[in-house]
Amino acid sequence: MSCEEDSYIFSTDTLPSDRRFLPPLANGLLGWRVYNNTMHMGGVYNGEGGHCHRADVPCPFAVKVEAEEPGQHNYSLNTHTGIFTHTLSSASVTVTQSLYSHRHYPNLMVMEVLMVRQVTSEEPITVNLVSSFTPQSKDILFESGPDYKGGSHIQGKVTTAEYPGGSCPSVHLIWTTIPSTLTLPPDHSQACWGFVLVVANSLESAEANFDEGLDLKATGDLRPSHEKAWKERWLQSKVEVVGSESLCKALIGCMFYLLSAFPSINDNTSSFGGVSPGGLSNGGDGQDYWGHVFWDQDIWMYPGIALFYPKLARAVLEYRVGTIEGAKDNAQKQGFKGLKFPWESAVSGREVCPEDIYGQQEIHINGDVTLAFQHYLYLTEDLSVFTEGQGREVIYGVADYWVSRASWNPEDKKYHLLGVMPPDEYYYNVDNSVYTNTVAKFSLQFAVELSERLQHPAPKEWQEVAEHLKIPFDEESQYHPEYDGYIKGQPVKQADTVMLGYPLGLQMTPEIRRNDLEAYEPVTDPNGPAMTWGMFAIGWLELGEAEKAQHLLEKCFKNIQGPFQVWSESSDGSGAVNFLTGMGGFLQAVLFGYTGFRVQKECLAFSPILPDGISELCVRGVNYLGSQMDWLLRKDEVCIILREKANSAGNTKSCDLQVVLKASGTKLPLTPGKPVTFPPEPGYVCKLPSMSSCWPL
């Protein structure tokens, strides 16, 4: 076992003094920070334009258990099962309160209270349930509805649509009434109470889900069905290390909170509202980026999830497809053709950033979105997302935008992108951001590639602009300046130019890669956002400098706040909370850094390297071309086991795969259930030569 069993259980005797760092419980549709009196529902926003934010929904489970006699408290988050427990132990009784957002039934949340008598007594034992719940919200005008099967019911609509003429979503809550006290009768040694909460967009859905919850409770399957869903999810992905308990625990926390933000792998009904930097539990008015969806989803969170879960990756792409009309509107308002995805997105895809300059200038978001589509195709060869799923409209629309946005410069005979803000938001209205131009170039090239695969004639301008788009480079210093006019040594907010190597994959010599890292590392804000150091770490790992990479990766530990492994955006605890962007960057540093995984057109490349303190890395469930692989990396060997073929979901059709080692050219076929072992050297996994394509056109 790579991590100790209790590495998956985060426990403490005292709650964090800053309640922002209490653990969030989410399931891709509902999100809640334990004990908080508000929660959120995916896709439910209030406010127009820049005032749009996640609508606060009152949470009936804002309940604390208190006993008359003194006792010991323990608070625990079990990431195996996604259940938070508060255990109160006194001389006469042990009381356990359990809370969870149901992993299989996304409209359900559950609270359970178990009382166990510790001494024989003929006296009843009573505990108090202290609630801070009020059935009101500043975002939704709630009114009481008729009780339903013993459950309380409130309903309402958000007060303001996202844009003029837009819809105001309805919210219905039905929940098992929670008393102010619970009593264990004298003749009982123990008793358990279960409470169900349903949140839905219609009365019909709320009642159906409440019925489901009551049935599950009656059959005793309420908690088991939840735990089973988490178990299934963990079977498809594990990232564990030997040698650093703190690193192992951090990776588990990152995977748990990221997976919590995505829909159920069994859910085909609810529409996915994207992933915001603070997840579903955060994002109310004025906090945690208002719950908007940024490039954070597509560049920082998506890659670590897509490597294991094609279905969840596709959910991200489908979210972007659902915002095409809004992206078209954004482009038209800027005076350009095609699609301009919003810097900050809610439901419609119209720009909802509170400050216009970001929506106007941080246009690299377009390339970030298409890169996610490109990686999905290379990981799966599933063309259906581009045909039936309308993904080609995204790719072609972005290409049209770049062509209309680029300006021809007759002096250097290059196309320029003028007046932009790079990922480094310390600078704005600059020309030719090297990151922006590179991601634009690659998205244009991918549009040409996709059009060929779909036998769709590509406008010649796509290739023309791609070939002649300026990529700033300083010949004298042999490095990439961040933008035209950047002076080496100027301060930088976050990872920007260093992302040319990864995730963009711009070809460059090791010398230039090193020069970029050395130019930007000392001038990057040490208090900048958490995801930055993961990108530097990946760069140094590419160059074989594992110890330097590990030093940078360990900087991220300062962003992990309190016992529940909740990240803050900045190392001093400020900024967005439950900062999934930072977790995604950290996870990528291990998943794509230690392994050297690179998602490429014809293969999954690897180049394993482990720092001195880490003796073993286990990555289970890597999903490539319809097959799942378990990887074990050690200092002296790499072992891959191809999993036995299971019935694949959706459009998945697996290929026969082989490992090719670059130096020797050795080819090792992968046979299900049989380990393949080789020295830790660069290579790639690809289809056997006899295979033409896993996917029919």
C-alpha 457: how far from chain center: 35
Residues 535/539/544/546 CA torsion (nearest 10 deg): -20
Burial class (CB in 10 A: 0-12, 13-18, 19+), 441: buried
Q: Please check whether residue 209 is in contact with residue 202, taking contact to mean a CB–CB distance below 8 angstroms.
A: no
Residues 6+ apart with CB under 8 A from 268: none
**3-class secondary structure, 33:** strand
Report the alpha-carbon distance of residue 34 to residue 25 in Å, rounded. Answer: 7
Q: Please check whether residue 399 is in contact with residue 470, taking contact to mean a CB–CB distance below 8 angstroms.
A: no
Report the alpha-carbon distance of residue 418 to residue 188 in Å, rounded. Answer: 75
- Give the residues across from 220 on adjacent strands: none
C-alpha distances in angstroms, 564 versus 239, 348, 549? 18, 34, 25
Instruction: Classify residue 18 by its DSSP letter.
Output: S
Report the alpha-carbon distance of residue 139 to residue 155 in Å, rounded. Answer: 12
Q: What is the largest CA-CA distance in the chain?
A: 94
Counting DSSP H helices and E strands in the chain, the numbers are 16, 32
Report the alpha-carbon distance of residue 423 to residue 437 in Å, rounded. Answer: 12
C-alpha 109: how far from chain center: 21
Report the alpha-carbon distance of residue 399 to residue 382 in Å, rounded. Answer: 21
Report the alpha-carbon distance of residue 329 to residue 323 in Å, rounded. Answer: 10
Query: N- to C-terminal Cα distance for the chain?
Result: 42
What is the Cα gyration radius of the chain? 26
Report the alpha-carbon distance of residue 433 to residue 401 in Å, rounded. Answer: 17
DSSP string, 645-685: P----TT-----EEEEETTT--EEE--TT-EEEE-S--EEE
Kindly tell me the sign of the dihedral angle through the C-alpha atoms of 471, 472, 475, 480.
Answer: negative
Instruction: Classify residue 357 by its DSSP letter.
Output: H
Catalytic-residue membership of 542: no
Q: Please check whether residue 462 is in contact with residue 390, taking contact to mean a CB–CB distance below 8 angstroms.
A: no
Catalytic residue among 232, 318, 393, 425: 425
Residues 6+ apart with CB under 8 A from 260: 24, 25, 26, 27, 28, 31, 82, 101, 279
180-196: b (≥16 Cβ within 10 Å) or e? eebebeeeeeeeeebbb
**Which residues have a catalytic role annotated?**
425
